[in-house]
Amino acid sequence: MTTLLEARGVSRTFTVSRGMFAKKRLLHAVSDVNLHIAKGEVLGLVGESGSGKSTLAKMLLGLLSPTRGSIHLGGVDVIGMSRLDMARRIQPVFQDPYSSLNPRKRVVSIVSLPLAVQGIGSAEERREKAIAMLSRVGLARRHADLYPNELSGGQRQRVAIARALVVEPELVLLDEPTSALDVSVQSQILNLLLDLRGDLGLTYVFISHNLAVIEHIATRVAVMYLGRIVEQSERDALFRDPRHPYTRALLDSVLTPEPGLGVPDTGLGLAMPNPLDPPPGCVFHPRCSELGHRCRTELPRTVQDAGGLMACHLYDGGVARPHDCLSPLPACGERE
Amino acid sequence: MAPLLSVSGLTVDLATPRGTLHAVRDISFDINAGETLCLVGESGCGKSMTALALMGLLPNSATRRARHLAFEGGDLANVTPRKLASLRGNRMAMIFQEPMTALNPAYTIGDQLIEVHRRHKGSTYAAARERAIELLEKVGITPAGERLGQFPHQLSGGLRQRVMIAMALMCGPTLLIADEPTTALDVTIQAQTLRLLIDIQRDLGVAILLITHDLGVVARVAQRVAVMYAGEIVESATAASLFRKPRHPYTRGLMASIPIPGRTPPGERLGSIPGIVPSLIGEVRGCAFRDRCAFAFAPCAETVPWRVDNEHGWRCTLPEVPAEAAA
């Protein structure tokens, strides 16, 4: 499998002002992220709000440059690449099809705009190409001359997908593409994305907080927490045998439509981390159910084994050394 | 025993520039003391309008009609606004989806919790403060005494929603109306918040009307479920019965649309419901789902009967929809 996109040690910080006289502080939105995306795969990126998924997505799209680390697309560093070149190879689809389409343009001009930007074909050819792509995503010819507000949410998201695919990109970055849609429409869009991937040989980065959707569509999954990837494995391995305590809690939290099972106890604490003041050691330790002494002080390394990658002391020598349990310091497993 | 809340023939019409929108069309349901009823449906099905109609919080463009509307044995349809205001937040309380917009950003959470109690119960400041501390502890916000002095923006989304729950409980209501209470929260926080709601219900015996679009939440929390489509209740049953044997083609379509971990083979096509929700402006006749239904035939345009099998009811022209309905 050829690597299409590779991120090495990518970090991004933002300077945050905390009032007129307060000192500016650094917010670490993404820290030391390594990713390989092979041609033809669907990488599911999972995480809760504030985990840095969207910042990472912007960097992958070339809309934001990393503070540290590098991103290579097809073996070429994206820093040297022009915006036009990037846009030809990576295209995004965003969450909200109500705000991501220009309300004053007709559908056909929205979809053909990327072609015009790239200088592909004559106006007539671009229109034909756009209409062909619209029919590929399941919209009729009569939809081409409508405005976005004349379409339903699902139809708008189809327009956004057509716009992304019309320049035949290698990679499509889907940022919560079905989260704003109703359940019955969500399944139509997921079916469409699966069909398109099979027919056009596309590679997706699929960002979502919905684990059932990720399990359905992704081939490999990376779990983010507070700017870091804490676990990364093949889809089946991750869902069958989640190993990082955060991944386990996430999977436990999924409410499948099975009555009588009640609401699961995730074992997570309520201590939500402040991204401006991240906890020392493992960033997940204040909420972790398997907290040990090492977790409070030592940042876990990312280790690899047959199952995948994870950043947790449990898989790198254990969370506590035996003498920790005998010391008068906070006891092993004690919750903060 | 008479139900805690009894709704019969509730209708909400909204005046829009394009005509009258029939947001809620002749719905009826009961909630018994201490039970959880889920109203489930997609956007625009009228579930939130139903909640607002019960609380008397409809927008001015809306008109509400009902054959019968009773709460705690008293008539709710014809009460004065003053009487309704004394019930609201007191005997029946509401939790909204977005705690940041439901809380006042300019007051501390203590001020807001204490005000509810003083206003409805006429209690002293000290007594109300004690009650606020008790409830913050109950919803897991500690140290409660210090938290009282914090402003909403100083809390995370999950904690804010807990404050909303504490506020709703301040006066010891018998009915809690929760409109998508966990939709804006992350999955792990959603599970924690729902557990809290269930624990509180068990401890305090409060009834919950939970409004959601999420079938996973419905399955795990509800005792009884009413499925809404286009302003109507199209199916109503116990959660166990609904998920074991959904009868209405719409309910079946919904259930086939969601990938279920461990059951739906990854990458396979999901079921879906073709078409879109019909407009509810102007006269709506017959089954509103017929344009999207695989089993529709001419009589579906006429009045559709409400069918009942034990405690499971649904609205369909066909006495029995073939099992392979979820196409």
Domain contains A134: no
Q: Is B61 helix (H, G, I), strand (E, B) or coil?
A: coil
Domain contains A150: no
pLDDT of residue B186: 86
Domain total in chain A: 2
Say if residue A85 is in the same domain as residue A167.
Answer: yes
Say if residue A194 is in the same domain as residue A277.
Answer: no
Say if residue A164 is in the same domain as residue A55.
Answer: yes
Beta strands in chain B (DSSP E): 5-16, 19-31, 36-40, 62-65, 68-71, 74-75, 92-95, 175-179, 207-212, 224-229, 232-238, 306-309, 312-315
| Range B126-132 average pLDDT | 95
Cα–Cα distance for residue pair A67/A56, rounded to 1 Å: 12
pLDDT of residue B324: 59
**A248 vs A306, B20, B289, CA distance in Å?**
18, 49, 40
Say if residue A184 is in the same domain as residue A212.
Answer: yes
Say if residue A230 is in the same domain as residue A253.
Answer: no
Residue A276: which pLDDT band, with cuts at 50, 70 and 90? Answer: confident
Q: Which residue, A175, A204, A237, sits at the end of a domain?
A: A237
Domain contains A242: no
Say if residue A50 is in the same domain as residue A98.
Answer: yes
Closest CB from B255, B267, B269 relative to A257: B255
Closest CB from A187, A257, A263 relative to B270: A187
Between A and B, how many CB-CB pairs are < 8 A?
136
| Range B203-224 average pLDDT | 94
Domain contains A67: yes
Say if residue A212 is in the same domain as residue A266.
Answer: no
Sheet with strand B36-40: strands edge to edge: B92-95, B175-179, B207-212, B36-40, B224-229, B232-238, B312-315, B306-309
Cα–Cα distance for residue pair B155/B160, rounded to 1 Å: 6
Say if residue A52 is in the same domain as residue A188.
Answer: yes
Residues contacting residue A74 through CB under 8 Å, at least 6 positions apart: A4, A5, A89, A170
Q: Which residue, A237, A259, A292, sits at the end of a domain?
A: A237
Say if residue A305 is in the same domain as residue A183.
Answer: no
| Range B137-144 average pLDDT | 88
Residues B110, B112, B118, B120, CA torsion sign: negative
Closest CB from A187, A215, A259 relative to B266: A215
User: Which residue from B minimizes the CA distance to A272?
Assistant: B156
pLDDT of residue A326: 43
Say which CATH number the domain at A180 has.
Answer: 3.40.50.300
Domain boundaries, chain B: 5-91+174-325, 100-170
**Domain encompassing residue A311:** 247-326
Domain contains A114: no
Tell me if B214 sits within 8 A of A254, measured CB to CB: no
pLDDT of residue A66: 94
**B284 vs A218, B11, B18, B300, B313, CA distance in Å?**
42, 13, 15, 12, 21
| Range A104-124 average pLDDT | 95
B327 touches chain A (CB under 8 A): no
Say if residue A63 is in the same domain as residue A168.
Answer: yes
Residue A334: which pLDDT band, with cuts at 50, 70 and 90? Answer: very low
Place domain B5-91+174-325 in its CATH homologous superfamily: P-loop containing nucleotide triphosphate hydrolases (3.40.50.300)
B63 touches chain A (CB under 8 A): no
pLDDT of residue B247: 95
Separation of first and last alpha carbons in chain B: 42
Q: Is A322 helix (H, G, I), strand (E, B) or coil?
A: helix
pLDDT digits (tens, 9 = 90+) for B53-73: 999 999 999 999 999 999 999
Say if residue A277 is in the same domain as residue A166.
Answer: no
Say if residue A211 is in the same domain as residue A254.
Answer: no
| Range B292-298 average pLDDT | 92
Domain contains A59: yes
B210: which chain A residues are within 8 Å (Cβ-Cβ)? none
Domain contains A123: no
Which pTM was predicted? Answer: 0.88
Residue A275: which pLDDT band, with cuts at 50, 70 and 90? Answer: confident
ipTM of the complex: 0.84
| DSSP assignment letter at A49 | T
pLDDT digits (tens, 9 = 90+) for B219-272: 999 999 999 999 999 999 999 999 999 999 999 999 999 998 878 888 889 998
pLDDT at A50 over 50: yes
